[in-house]
Structure 1
Amino acid sequence: MVSTASIDPKELQYLNGFGNEHETEALEGALPVGQFSPQKVNYGLYAEQFSSTAFTAPRHQNRRTWTYRIRPSIAMGDFEAIDRGLLRTGPITEVPAPPNVMRWDPLPLPGGNVDFVDGLTTVAANGDAASQTGIGIHVYTATANMEKRFFYNADGEMLFVPQQGTLLAYTEMGILHVKPGEIMVIPRGVKFRIDLPEGSARGYICENYGAPLELAERGPVGANGYANDRDFQYPTAWFEDVEDNFTLIAKFSGNLFAAALGHSPLDVVAWVGNSAPYKYDLARFNTMNTVSYDHPDPSIFTVLTSQSETEGTANVDFVIFPPRWMVAEGTFRPPYYHRNIMSEFMGLIHGVYDAKEAGFEPGGMSLHNCMTPHGPEAAVFEAASNAELEPHRYEDTLAFMFESRYVIAPTEFALNTNARQQNYLKCWDGLKKYYNGSKD
């Protein structure tokens, strides 16, 4: 038996490199040599393959991991449906999706003991999880460890964006310690539980129903821009051999189900493959920006992408707006006014976002859907239009965007919650008419 209490997050070890074939073992000799499924595995372990892409996916896209575990995953009870609370799955049909601009204050932390699963709230979604297209967008607010509960998501992989409080994620492949300013991705189907070293946590989740997230292509940027493979960290093998009354919760086809377990499912002693949880420090993103003129499109800030069947058109892009220099000459430097076929959901991890200097708080969020016009508020436009165009650094800021080719439909909760800013549109009320018929 390995006690979770013996794990010090400062001592956690990680394997580096995005999408690489990793191998790691918690006991020497647990990994078979030369084949994946020998007749008998050392230590009396079971060999079990975990596949998160089709068996025949092209080699460069194929994701699978061989696990060597104390018990196979089928050693469990039957699932029974449980209350899904405020968790929803695309398509959202409970209310019509309006084309209005929308913004929300941070959702408050719950009172009492609420763990990660019970604290999930869906804000919006698109596509159709059953056809593996689109995304779900959730906020997690938690005040308690998951204790004897474990969770996996059969509908999509989960991109965590912590905003407040660190997470200690115990997964089948090992442990990840993730703090605000970092992200974590847990593949579709991987079992895990979440502990809260600081007692509470809040953050965002993009549930990706589509193709697994991958690094964006660099194009003319060349070999070293954007996110680099080496900076992504995977856990090393860790396991617990604990027999007790546990519960496994599954998100499956938009609903939640629970099954009884007589042991911890985190009993993988060794694994080898390229489908595993990972984390990334957003401060390591190599920002590309203009040094001549014009504000660049947000795609220049893409960290991870899930492509749709249309080349160059993302099922979802995960984009960040980190601290960076603005140097452009003769240019309106904040984002220009725009309307897109792509829909944009934004969140703020800390600081101030340059196009929204008031009302967009850390932990808050906004939604600007397909062809809905948006851009800098009136006060930002005035300041940026008259600013001295010398080099300027945005320092205290870290915002992000989930950008999708599909309309992002808010849930009934999101439309009616008191956290929704009903007067959001008024931040543009001060836009003046300057036109007077003279080109000067």
Structure 2
Amino acid sequence: MSGPETLHYQTGFGNEHETEAAQGALPQGRFNPQKAPYGLYAEQFSSTAFTAPRHLNRRTWTYRIRPSVVMGDYEPYRTEQPGLICTGPLHDSPPPPNSLRWDPFPIPEEPQDFIDGWITLAVNGDARLQVGIGVHIYCANSNMDQRFFYNADGELLIVPQQGALLALTEMGRLYVTPGEILVIPRGVKFQIELPEGTARGYICENYGAPLELPERGPVGANGFANNRDFCYPTAWYEDKDGSFLLVTKFAGVLYQATLEHSPLDVVAWVGNSAPYKYDLARFNTINTVSYDHPDPSIFTVLTSPSDRPGTANLDFVIFPPRWMVAEDTFRPPWFHRNVMSECMGLIQGVYDAKEAGFEPGGLSVHNCMSPHGPEAEVFEKASAAVLAPERYKNSLAFMFESRYMLATTPFGLGALKRQKDYVTCWKGLKKHFSLPPQGA
């Protein structure tokens, strides 16, 4: 099993990468020659429309041992856990105004790989219209082995919380640990191995426009996530015959098809649509050095824009280790209501607004215009704190934020891990209002 020391990466977000696992496998001068080298097949993979603007257009030419059409017909996928993977829209489950939170889900005792370990907790939008997101967790204890997967409904943003992942993809291999993220474009075939035996984490399924780096605006040329820190795989392939299964998620339904060869048979590729990973520790945090609590948009790593400027289909926001130095300022997130719906997870440590009840591996949902903020004890503590420079360390939280309301799945609403008493964390907030005596 490959570890990080055996893998090599190309860097640069959205760059035109080219790589070959056999010297001379990549055609020179023409993407689609009459005969590709070594008897390979040329196959273009496009994750945006052919006519998308040049700076948004994403496509990759692959040179593979067999074209993807060499496969059996799809039939419904059979799983022992039907109904745990859901896709927007959920017509029978209206978005709730209540704040929701779940404890971490346990690693299963029975064998369960990355795909069967998916559990959907919330969705919005409509995958068929390519709008919105799905929020899932995964809990797994076995490799995918003879099975492969691709998602036709959306791009996958995978956030490991416990246990490393080795992603074997059509474009190569990526080793991803907690504190890093993995993004797999819509339609890319892959297989997940578990180098540490078990794994748990989060998945945001992006039905909308592919994730991109947010504009920096007045921040200027530096800050936030830098292009150079995104890692893409180098070409690697399997020339393997046997009995394999390809599982796909298409319009919210799981299907399976038989293969007589591994689909990870791309010997060379060139393009800008490929899986990538990013180490969240490389994010250049911007913060206030005077007063007030800035909006969380300053922590946006990646964004999927919507048709309304400045309002995202999906923002991926992190709250990493950082210095807090603001004067005369309530430092945790203030109480707020806003137009975006928020789904929060915790990778490690303690989140500053929720010091109790929000554990690594847990998840919360606060829909648009629903009030939320620090729990009662955090409010009292932060209101009386001595405001010296403070290092927030050993904590890493994140947020999937969307302009569309999140509907909770029936499983999520009824799950034993759902905290039915979550709202009580604000019950201890006291009335402090008082006016000075008249004439004082």
Q: Match for 2:347: what amino acid?
A: I
TM-score by length of 1: 0.98
Structural mapping, 1:210-221, within 5 Å: 210-221=208-219
CA distance in 1, matches of 2:39, 2:152: 29
Q: Secondary structure at the match of 2:105?
A: coil
Specify the alignment match of 2:68 in structure 1: 73
Matched, 1:51 2:46: yes
1:438 & 1:353 partners in 2: Cα distance?
A: 36
SS at structure 2 position matched to 1:415:
helix
Q: Distance in 2 between matches of 1:99 and 1:403?
A: 16
1:37 aligns with 2:32: yes
- Give, in angstroms, the shift of residue 96 of structure 1: 2.6
The amino acid of 2:367's aligned partner reads N
Q: Contact between 2:3 and 2:175, CA under 8 Å: does it hold in 1?
A: no
Alignment match, 2:225: 227
Q: Distance in 1 between matches of 2:83 and 2:427?
A: 37
**How far apart are 1:270 and its partner, in Å?**
0.2
Give the secondary structure class of the aligned counterpart of 2:304: strand
In 1: Cα distance, 2:196 partner to 2:422 partner: 33
Cα shift at 1:201:
0.3
Q: Give the equivalent residue in structure 2 for 1:266.
A: 264
Aligned amino acid, residue 127 of structure 2 = A
Displacement, 1:76?
Answer: 0.2
What residue in structure 1 maps to residue 245 of structure 2? 247
- Listed one character per residue, the Cα deviations across residues 262-310 of structure 1 (whole Å, up to 9, x for unaligned) are 0000000000000000000000000000011111111010000000011
SS at match of 2:351: coil
2:133 to 105, 110, 135: 135
Gap runs ≥5 in structure 1: none
Distance 1:92 1:107 in 2: 22
Q: Greater CA deviation, 88-97 or 314-323? A: 88-97
| Structure-1 residue corresponding to 2:363 | 365
Q: Conserved in 2, the CA contact under 8 Å of 1:94 and 1:411?
A: no
How many Å apart are 1:105 and its aligned residue?
0.0
Which residue number corresponds to residue 162 of structure 2? Answer: 164
**DSSP-derived class of the 1:220 partner:** helix
Q: 1:275 aligns with which of 273, 276, 283?
A: 273
The amino acid that maps onto 1:342 is M
Q: How many aligned positions are there?
A: 435
Q: For residues 144-174 of structure 1, give each alpha carbon's deviation from its aligned partner in whole angstroms, at most 9, with x where no partner exists.
A: 0000000000000000000000000000000
CA contact (8 A) 1:79 1:259 kept: yes
Partner of 1:29, secondary structure, is: coil
Return the alpha-carbon distance in structure 1 between the equivalents of residues 185 and 143 of structure 2: 21
SS in 1 for 2:298: helix
How far apart, CA to CA, are the structure 1 residues paired with 2:408 and 2:436?
44
Correspondence for 1:351: 349
Q: C-alpha distance in 1, partners of 2:58/2:94? A: 37
Q: Runs of 4+ in structure 1 displaced over 6 angstroms?
A: none
Equivalent residue for 1:379, pick from 366, 377, 380: 377
Q: CA deviation at 1:214?
A: 0.2
Question: 1:113-158: per-residue Cα shift (whole Å, max 9, x none)?
Answer: 1011111110100000000000000001101000000000000000
Residues 195-228 of structure 1 show CA distances to partners (whole Å, capped at 9, x for unaligned) of 0001010000000000000001000111110000
TM-score normalised according to structure 2 size: 0.98
Once the 2 structures are TM-superposed, how far is the Cα of residue 98 of structure 1 from its aligned partner?
Answer: 1.5
Query: Residue by residue, what CA displacement relative to the aligned partner does 1:228-247 show, whole Å, maximum 9, x if unpaired?
Result: 00000000000000000000
The residue that corresponds to 2:423 in the other structure is 425
DSSP-derived class of the 2:148 partner: strand
Q: Which residue of 2 aligns with 1:19?
A: 14
> Does structure 2 conserve the Cα–Cα contact (< 8 Å) formed by 1:103 and 1:421?
yes
CA displacement, residues 1-37 of structure 1 (integer Å, 9 cap, x when unaligned): xxxx5x4431100000000000000000000000100
Structure 1 residue 92 displacement after superposition: 1.6
Percent same amino acid among aligned pairs?
71
Q: What is the root-mean-square deviation of aligned Cα atoms in Å?
A: 1.0
Alpha-carbon distance between aligned partners in 1 of 2:159 and 2:317, rounded to the nearest angstrom: 12
Aligned to 1:10: 5
Distance (Å, rounded) in 2 between the aligned partners of 1:245 and 1:329: 64
On the 8 A contact 1:191/1:265 being kept in 2, the answer is yes
The structure 1 residue matched to 2:77, chosen from 79, 82, 104, is 82
Counterpart CA distance in 2 for 1:342 and 1:317 is 10
Offset of 1:427 from its aligned partner? Answer: 0.7
List aligned pairs for 1:88-127, cutoff 5 A: 88-127=86-125
Q: How far does the alpha carbon of each residue in 1:65-113 deviate from its partner, in whole angstroms, 9 at most, with x for none?
A: 0000000000000000124540000112232322001110001111121
